[in-house]
Chains A and B, each alone.
Chain A
């Protein structure tokens, strides 16, 4: 057993932290207010190699392992949760399934542009009537000669307004139940593909979240990812991996909230002393720090399992995501508490952290769904 980071992980952490502090942090609060997708930053992120962290070098990626992915997402989310998930989606929800389930041609065609920042990726699972219940989706793709005709609406799609390459799920055979679901790589410029409602979100406001509308979109046959009917498997497998990122995002947001709280509690004085000397504040700080470290280790552990080549880690991944989300909300709530009334104003970043953290319990499977995954495994 080894709890230390490797040389490259340590260096990655240091350099990504420097980069995030200097290049991303300055924009974080501004894009939270404006909701504007940080396109300029994407170029810089790609130059650093952060848009394709886990993609092999032969597809223009950085070829790091999954623990490193977690470290990078934590560092980015620590200064800007919006950018954290933008990067996470490009890596784990889009590049990863193409890498894992795509054929060589698909990998060569789609991965390099995603890694070098020429294109941005998004993934469409959720629909107006299918969220937690993925299998309830209504989108269909019918084979017609050399292409599929795709119809349906995807909702809440992160990176939606900015993306060029979409990984989209739809039924090729509705009667076969979830085994009739397939997965496609859909390009933005196809006829019949339009963007619907842009969401005005509570947190992670600069993530280009919108609806995708597919009306008789002709998706070339060669854009089928895996085989017909592989969709559900691809979806679940991908979410197992991407929950590493979401866990890491939670750890990053929580760490930022703790850092701010420590700083503030040393400065703010009540009853004649800095509030960090009041026991109840110390109690909060101690709990926050402990929970963050526990969540971080859970997240690293899933990365470790994936890096070791373990095939199934749905339970562990659900645990990490659920726990990190839970503590991120708890820690950011405490951070607001420690800041008193000032924490409730936009003069301090903790209100943003609090809003940002709230998404973690919802997307990529709600906390209830994570617990279902965990419990099912326990009692199976």
Chain B
């Protein structure tokens, strides 16, 4: 079988976790299907990256150019399309991340190859490819069969596959960048950091996460009181930030903060994977949600299926009693 390609994702000099997840997944897929795993690095300087991943792929293809210092989906698309056209891998794996989401559709469209996003699993069956992904707020899984083709593109959900150490010794191939300048119609300017607020939710042992189930801003009082009682800080899901009920630096999840507290209590949060990515490393996770089918219960250690407005005040008092 032709190669399996994995696109290396890095930002501000740091290899993103998704890279190791893709490599581990790609390696398993390659082993199962007798294929070679090739990692593709676009960077201005690839040395540090190569060092970190060289045990994890059969081959590393490196395209070094100053234009790849920062991510520009357009430059990546043009260059990667050239390489894929030439090498014709059976499948190219890219992270379903903010980078991947900006890159993949146009890449697949340019190459005219079947593509699907946000996959949890990929199965190769001869020349056929089927994937598993989620729909309807994570309440259902779907198995999709892609149009049969020689080459496929798939983006994988971050945080789904455990990273693994490798024992390979990758052959390194450096190739000229197919482009030498950023396209003039899309220029990368800069990265802008989120301004830090007064509370740092990544530093607290106990974090109370609040979601759309809180219904209105005024109800945050109940949560603040509860957080005070248990001695934690309040973080939230994205809709709470969208509604401007809490500042951006309290958002937990893929486009917010990643937290690793000893205890995380998710209240009125459905458990969308973007949220889960930010809190799943908590030691103990408790979920309070009135919907018994909410995906958050698949992540939690303990769950209460009930109306948060009924539970929280009682729970607060019990905690206070227990502390006294």
Contacts and interface: CB of A to CB of B under 8 A. Distances in A.
Direct contact of A and B (CB under 8 A): yes
A30 interface: yes
B193 interface: no
B310 interface: yes
B32 interface: no
A347 B215 CA distance: 15
B310 A26 contact: no
Interface string B27-45: 0000000000000000000
Contacts of B244: none
Interface residues of A, number: 4
Contacts of A25: 215
A347 B310 contact: yes
A26 B216 CA distance: 6
A211 B309 CA distance: 37
Nearest to B218: A26
Nearest to A26: B216
Contacts of A347: 309-310
Contacts of B219: 26
A30 B310 contact: no
Contacts of B218: 26, 30
Tell me which of B216, B217, B218, B309 has the highest count of chain A C-beta atoms within 10 A of its own C-beta: B216
A26 B218 CA distance: 8
A25 B216 CA distance: 9
Contacts of A26: 215-219
A122 B215 CA distance: 32
Interface in B283-324: 309-310
Interface string A25-40: 1100010000000000
Contacts of B309: 347
A26 B214 CA distance: 10
Contacts of B215: 25-26
Interface in B199-231: 215-219
Nearest to B216: A26
Interface in A340-362: 347
Contacts of B310: 347
Interface in A212-240: none
A347 B306 CA distance: 13
B42 to A, nearest CB: 45
Interface string A6-38: 000000000000000000011000100000000
Nearest to A21: B215
Nearest to B307: A347
6 contacts: A25-B215, A26-B215, A26-B218, A26-B219, A30-B218, A347-B309
Closest 7 CB pairs of A and B: A26-B216, A347-B310, A26-B215, A26-B218, A30-B218, A347-B309, A25-B215
